[in-house]
Amino acid sequence: MWEGPKHHCRQAEQTRPRTRFCHRQNSLINLDQKILEQLSHDIMVPFGKAAFFPSCLIHTNEFLVLLGEGYYDERTSKQTVEILQRRGKSLDSRVDSLEVNIKDLEAEASFLNATASFLVARFFWEKGIMLNF
């Protein structure tokens, strides 16, 4: 039994989270570059549900980066941006290959649909049965 359209749907579902992840990676890169401009930042820290108090972020040029398999390492801001950009390029290539795969599956499904319609019409024509489409 052919399961092309189901496979197409699964691939489309796989593409959406990767695309969202790419957008999040880009927003992290932008945030990282903004943080680079200053060594400390004044912020309002939440204290409970209704209170805030002023504080200051320090060491804003140091990041804890996931290296994989639960391993983290401290990296500088510049190194973090480079890691995120490499990951983004890798994800972009995966998304592109999935989109090409989806287009191929859509073309194959269209071809199989046309072939099936032709074979059904030919079968009924050979049997002498008139079809009203």
**Confidence class of residue 11 from pLDDT cuts 50, 70 and 90?**
low
CB of 105 within 8 A of CB of 112? no
> Residue 100: pLDDT above 90?
yes
**Distance between CA atoms of residues 105 and 57, nearest Å:** 51
**Distance between CA atoms of residues 36 and 77, nearest Å:** 7
> Residue 128: pLDDT above 70?
yes
* Rounded average pLDDT over 65-80: 88
**Confidence class of residue 5 from pLDDT cuts 50, 70 and 90?**
very low
* Rounded average pLDDT over 99-113: 94
114 alpha-carbon distance from chain centroid: 32
pLDDT at 52: 92
| Sequence-distant contacts of 36-43: CB under 8 A, at least 24 apart | 36/61, 36/77, 36/78
Provide the residue ranges of all domains of the chain, joining segments of one domain with +: 4-123
Tokens representing 64?
A: 């804890």
* CATH 3.30.1490.190 fits domain 4-123: no
> Residue 107: pLDDT above 60?
yes
